Amino acid sequence: MNYHKLFEPYELSGNQLANRFLMAPMTRSRASQPGDIPNALMAEYYAQRSTAGIIITEATQVSLQGKGYANTPGIYSKQQIEGWKLITNAVHQNGSKIFLQLWHVGRVSSSKVNGLQPIAPSALIAQNTSVYVFDGAVNGDATFVPVEEPRAMDKADIDTVIQEFVQGAKNAIEAGFDGVEIHGANGYLIDQFLRSNSNKRTDEYGGTQENRIRLLIEISKEVANAIGKEKTGIRLSPFISFKDMNDPEILQTIMIAAAELNKLDVAYIHLCEADWDDAPQIPLDFRIELRDTFKKTIIATGNKTPEEAEKLLEENLVDLVGFGRKFLTNPDYPAKVKENFRLNEISDTHTLFGGGTARGYTDYPFMR
């Protein structure tokens, strides 16, 4: 099949992309310790995959409080900024673009990870949800621990989080990133505010849908003011309900948020779509309504085949398509798609999270 649209150049708010392939964010837990510092091995990993038109980094915590998993990188210390410069320089030398994903996990955490009680919109524990540490791990494997009950955030906490996202965005630009992606998906802090089942507040950040999107919009506005709206993207997950996030109002809430994000004229909305085998399909009417509501770039990620990606692009329902696991195991994924070349599979699931070596990280073979 000739994937004409996938290999077409694209302009993302002034960023010239070589193609429509986006390398999606994937947590790999390789940051150097202590300090959650990006390193040379991570730079090699991202550089290998810079045949993507644009890369969105793994989720990166904006503060120690925002950390939920061991060995994930941060963007709040000078050492972390310097570490990330290794990655941005390597990717730019290969001609690609790279955005940093800004992350606060909210209630999806444990004091075993960061020494702190989690915080959230409401003091509601996420049922059947775990995070991981490496203390006492066997063969380097992660050890999963249940999340702990969070403390309900007060207004001072909210103001602090907003400023942490703003400072994280400024730090990302200092580190050489082309922009940032605000992580408002997958059951983490901003998503917890969006959903009626995790947000039981009665102040201006809870109750109505307009109030529940307030934190997302305030963070987006302040980040855009700090680094530029053309460098600010948002990730949302309207059809994902894991981490105890099943909210019957979420689709309407997301659309209200999309209208407000359109007013802010941010660079893009990135849809994180369910990617397991029997996952619900995104309804066509949702895609059409989102396109009508939000006028800038729309990205879809969720285990798409190249055929599915090409169809979405041809129908003008999205502008870029994210690929995660395909890039994880195939650093030259676009070239393999073009030549219909056999794809590498995951060699060892034990290497997905953690490990300080190249095994299962930078040793996947190229086509040639």
Q: Which residues are catalytic?
A: 188
3-state secondary structure at position 47:
helix
Locus of tokens 């890039």: 327
DSSP structure class, residue 26: -
Residue type at 355 in one-letter notation = G
Distance (Å, rounded) from C-alpha 267 to C-alpha 229?
Answer: 6
| Strand bridging mode 297-301 / 143-146 | unpaired
Name which of 101, 55, 23 is nearest 301 in CA terms: 23
Alpha-carbon distance of 328 to 353, in angstroms, equals 12
- Are the C-beta atoms of 118 and 150 separated by less than 8 Å? yes
DSSP string covering 194-238: H-TTT----STTSSSHHHHTHHHHHHHHHHHHHH-GGGEEEEE-T
**Distance (Å, rounded) from C-alpha 142 to C-alpha 283?**
36
Q: How many CB atoms lie within 10 A of CB 363?
A: 12
